[in-house]
Amino acid sequence: MVDDKGKNMKCLTFFLMLPETVKNRSKKSSKKVNSSSSSNSSIGGSGSGSKLPPVCYEIITLKTKKKKKMAADIFPRKKPANSNTSVVQQYHQQNINNNNIIPAPNWQGLYPTIRERNAVMFNNDLMADVHFVVGPPGGTQRLPGHKYVLAVGSSVFHAMFYGELAEDKDEIRIPDVEPAAFLAMLKYIYCDEIDLAADTVLATLYAAKKYIVPHLARACVNFLETSLSAKNACVLLSQSCLFEEPDLTERCWEVIDAQAELALKSEGFCDIDFQTLESILQRETLNAKEIVVFEAALSWAEVECQRQELPASIENKRKVLGKALYLIRIPTMALDDFANGAAQSGILTLNETNDIFLWYTAAKKPELQFVSTTRKGLVPQRCHRFQSCAYRSNQWRYRGRCDSIQFAVDKRVFIAGFGLYGSSCGSAEYSAKIELKRQGVVLGQNLSKYFSDGSSNTFPVWFEYPVQIEPDTFYTASVILDGNELSYFGQEGMTEVQCGKVTVQFQCSSDSTNGTGVQGGQIPELIFYA
């Protein structure tokens, strides 16, 4: 069971390189650093308080857990082996702040390993034989470096300082990398430590890619995968394609497909580029109503008008959407959604509106430019945990009590709802309050009704949005039913069930007050996307 004490959510900001900037810079030779900036460019102070202008960056909001908590969980920091911890921490803090305080005589004796002695040189002017002016004009930071250490950590630095085309420069300008990201890369090279934060991880990934530091790049991708949610999946999809990270791209698509409506309604969706918009709109497996896709596209168009400094008029929205408008499957909307939404939005021409109405009603349907086939969506899987069910003898009764069970999976899935038993004495209607929790924190809940036909079948009850479930962590599924007291119930329950490629484990829950457990009771099915 994975410990997750981080209940407080904190709003963080991603500073992302514009696709044009990153793409152009990534094509540069690995043997030469850009030094085209003017020699008269102003150089920011060497302290840690330098701020970057928003000229080369987009800003994306992401809700995530505390930065230190997340980084510490994934990449635990290594502590000095010696007992003189306070002195080590003092020099470490001095290096982070770039105070350039000269170590005490025989400082080498304080550190028992070469890694720790090497770490003293991190961001330290002592014995530095090169300096980097990092960041765009107006937001630069001057950072010291040591050629030998850098060359050992990166083939690009090796070529830069010791290769056939090496340039003997005391100062190198790097305008396309954030100072904070460059420092994170230097810390890995000097200290063998990975220290990532949500607001700089993408910029650090860019730096690691540019200077060919593959282990740091992999750590950045892992960090992004653990931070991935419906709220930032569209933005990270765009960036993963830019950085050519297929594993991250695949993970983004998993989240977007399963939690499509949440992803499309997120603020980050409006920050994607046109190519990413097209790829999402034409996605066959989007698990969303078409009216939600339509409204998301209009929201993106409004923001795109602002980016292009155009009035957000109907004409301009249609102009920036271009051919992507016809990727929205308007003819597959429910008639009410079309009549009350798309038809009155103004984004469609009068002829398009008339033709779509005819598409709904006429026997001879007109030709449309819009895609007219319904999206396939995702096929839900059902994990059934009982081998048999029973009724009448020893009848199961509902008295407003809670039936609950705990479960864990070995792969990331998205719980869409539960399959529940119904009445054992004829047809009946039930009101069901379903809930999904992790360590007492409610992740999803819904109150809905379902009709039981009196058979021993299970009947699906859905959450409003699928809930992402992480592997190797126990979650609590609960339901309170109100309706006919006499019901079917499961028997011969299994502690482990193989469902496709997903293994599900079950254990009893202390929240269960109506007798449900692993061996028998209610909540016979988990319905999920994988």
172 in any annotated domain: yes
pLDDT value for 100: 53
pLDDT average, residue stretch 16-26: 40
- Same domain, yes or no: 223 and 257: no
- Assign 75 a pLDDT band (cuts: 50, 70, 90): very low
Please report whether residue 140 resides in a domain: yes
Q: Is 412 helix (H, G, I), strand (E, B) or coil?
A: coil
Residue 509 lies in a domain: yes
- The pLDDT of residue 71 is above 50: no
What pLDDT was estimated at residue 304?
Answer: 96
What residue numbers bound the domain in which 462 lies?
A: 381-529
Provide the pLDDT for residue 401: 87
Asked whether residue 299 carries a pLDDT value surpassing 60, the answer given is yes
Q: Does position 11 have pLDDT exceeding 70, yes or no? A: no
Q: Give the whole-number percent of the chain exceeding pLDDT 70.
A: 80
Q: Which residues contact 84 (CB under 8 A, 6 or more apart)?
A: 110
Q: What pLDDT was estimated at residue 131?
A: 95
Last residue of a domain, one of 227, 259, 276: 227
**497-507 residue pLDDT tens:** 999 999 999 99
Answer whether residue 193 is part of any domain. Answer: yes
For residue 236, is pLDDT > 60?
Answer: yes
pLDDT on residue 87: 46
- Per-residue confidence at 269, pLDDT binned at 50, 70, 90? very high
Of 361, 390, 424, the domain-final residue: 361
**Do 343 and 387 fall into the same domain?**
no
Give the tokens for residue 67.
């930065």
The predicted-structure confidence for 464-473, as pLDDT tens digits, reads as follows 999 999 999 9
Distance, in Å, from the CA atom of 303 to the CA atom of 326, rounded to the nearest integer, reads: 19
353 & 471 share domain: no
Task: Tell me, yes or no, whether 192 and 305 share the same domain.
Answer: no
Number of domains in the chain: 3
Looking at the structure, do residues 522 and 439 belong to the same domain, yes or no? yes
Q: In whole angstroms, give the CA distance from residue 272 to residue 236.
A: 9
At 95, the pLDDT band (50, 70, 90 cuts) reads low
Given this model, what pLDDT does residue 22 score? 38
Q: What is the pLDDT of residue 61?
A: 34
CATH code for position 299: 1.25.40
Residues in the chain: 530
Rounded average pLDDT over 99-105: 60
User: pLDDT-based confidence at 398, cuts 50/70/90?
Assistant: confident
For residues 313 and 387, membership in a common domain is answered with no
Confidence of residue 8 (pLDDT cuts 50, 70, 90): very low
Q: Is the pLDDT of residue 26 over 50?
A: no
Residue 42 CA neighbour count, 13 Å, CB half: 6
Per-residue pLDDT, averaged over 59-70, amounts to: 35
pLDDT band of residue 102 (cuts 50, 70, 90) is low
Q: What is the CATH number of the domain that holds 177?
A: 3.30.710.10
At 350, list the tokens: 């009068």
Residue 58 lies in a domain: no
Q: What is the pLDDT of residue 335?
A: 93
Label residue 34 by pLDDT band (50, 70, 90).
Answer: very low
The reply to whether 131 falls in a domain is: yes
- pLDDT higher than threshold 70 for residue 128: yes
Report residue 170's pLDDT band, with 50, 70 and 90 as the boundaries. Answer: confident
pLDDT value, residue 394 = 60
Class of residue 1 by CB neighbours under 10 A (exposed 0-12, middle 13-18, buried 19+): exposed
Assess whether 335 and 408 both reside in one domain. no
Q: Which residue has the tokens 């996605």?
A: 283
As a whole number, the mean pLDDT across the chain is 82
**Nearest C-alpha neighbor of 330 from the set 312, 345, 316:** 345
Q: What is the pLDDT of residue 123?
A: 93
Mean pLDDT along residues 414-420: 96
In a shared domain, residues 109 and 192: yes
Task: Decide if pLDDT at 132 tops 90.
Answer: yes
Q: Average of pLDDT values for 88-99?
A: 50
Same domain? For 393 and 261 the reply is: no
Given a contact cutoff of 8 angstroms between Cβ atoms, the answer to whether 126 and 103 are in contact is yes
Domain termination site, one of 312, 328, 361? 361
What CATH number does the domain containing 420 carry? 2.60.120.820
Tell me the mean pLDDT in the region 142-148: 94
14 pLDDT higher than 70: no
The amino acid present at 41, given as its one-letter code, is S
User: Which amino acid makes up residue 84?
Assistant: N
Residue 84 reports pLDDT greater than 80: no
Indicate if 124 and 166 belong to the same structural domain.
Answer: yes
pTM of the model: 0.72
Q: Would residue 337 count as lying in a domain?
A: yes
Position 3 in a domain: no
Give residue 27's pLDDT band: very low, low, confident or very high (50, 70, 90): very low
In DSSP notation, 466-510 reads EEEE-TT--EEEEEEEES-S-B-EEEEE-SEEEETTEEEEEEE-T
Where residue 332 falls among pLDDT bands split at 50, 70, 90?
Answer: very high
pLDDT of residue 63: 37
- Do residues 220 and 194 make contact, with C-beta atoms less than 8 angstroms apart? no
Q: Are residues 192 and 314 in the same domain?
A: no
Q: What is the pLDDT of residue 168?
A: 83
Residue 50 binned pLDDT confidence (cut-offs 50, 70, 90): very low
Are residue 522 and residue 395 in the same domain, yes or no? yes
Whose CA is closest to 70, among 158, 5, 157? Answer: 5
